Amino acid sequence: MTDELRFDERVALVTGAGRGMGREHALLLARRGARVVVADRGVGLYGSGSDSAPADETVALICDEGGEAVAYTEDLSDTRGASNAVAAALQIYGRLDALVHNAGFTLGSMDFGSEQIDRLDALLAINARAAFTLCREAWPAMQAHGSGRVVLVGSTAIYGIAGSVSYSAAKAAYIGLTRALAAAGESNNIKVNMVSPAGATRMAENMAEGEFRDWFLKTCRAELVSPLVGLLCHETCPVSGELFVAGGGRVARTVIGETAGWTDPDMTVEQLAQAMPQIMAQEPVANPRTTGEALALFMETMGFSPSEPASGLGAVKPKN
């Protein structure tokens, strides 16, 4: 029998934990011993308004089951609000072991020709900017005790939704953030992963009536995503820098790959057009996990063998 993976004496900050999947993540962690900061401003489906009740309700549920939790209801899309969420966890509990950034909202579909930059800004703020700020603030504490776990909750919108270009762009930012943070945290045992969930939440309830909607709401229960989030938050988490999809009891790895391609240093536009079938061939495929690995693949396919290993890619010192 496998021992239960516990979070005793650990502290987790879960954003968007007032409802839906975020609440399920918080409950799972608390039931396994974690002390949880429930961060949720209680906005509406489209990001408007605020209501402390959802966060308070999640805290009450955890406490009623004998767990320990506190609510945090500031605006995470504001840099100060995101920073203070981490500060609250450290002030109240003295440490932060796991960060799950699940908070988000939709702005609905819109034809791209009518899309507005403020919609993109709003979605980037609650997704990429909030995640960046939360991780930046949590980083020193995780480095200090040589361990940390971060789960960024993305979306299969990373594959592209024609009617939700802004949402797709905001969620796709998590890919680079996940991979870069995983590389940055490796020496301090800080592991960062991304989950693109499928769950019957408020967003799903807006689906068009029909057979698929009925099946989805019945099959993709929100709590079925939480076991993966729990594993990725645990000290025994076996991976970092990985992208997953989860829903309905299914978990799969999302893969970013690069084919061998076609090489000709004297190529012309016409030759390139003729070579497109080879360029578009699906095999063989390599799966670089970092920019450094992508560079190594590039050098290999170009036939370049340096006398010394390439190092420091991306480690350019900032200008004063």
- Any idea which residues carry the catalytic annotation? 167
Query: Phi and psi (nearest 5°) for 17?
Result: -95, 10
CA atoms within 13 A on the CB side of 243: 24
- Do residues 133 and 79 touch, judged by C-beta distance below 8 A? yes
**CA-to-CA distance for 279 and 87, rounded, in angstroms?**
49
Distance of CA 135 to the CA centre of its chain: 11
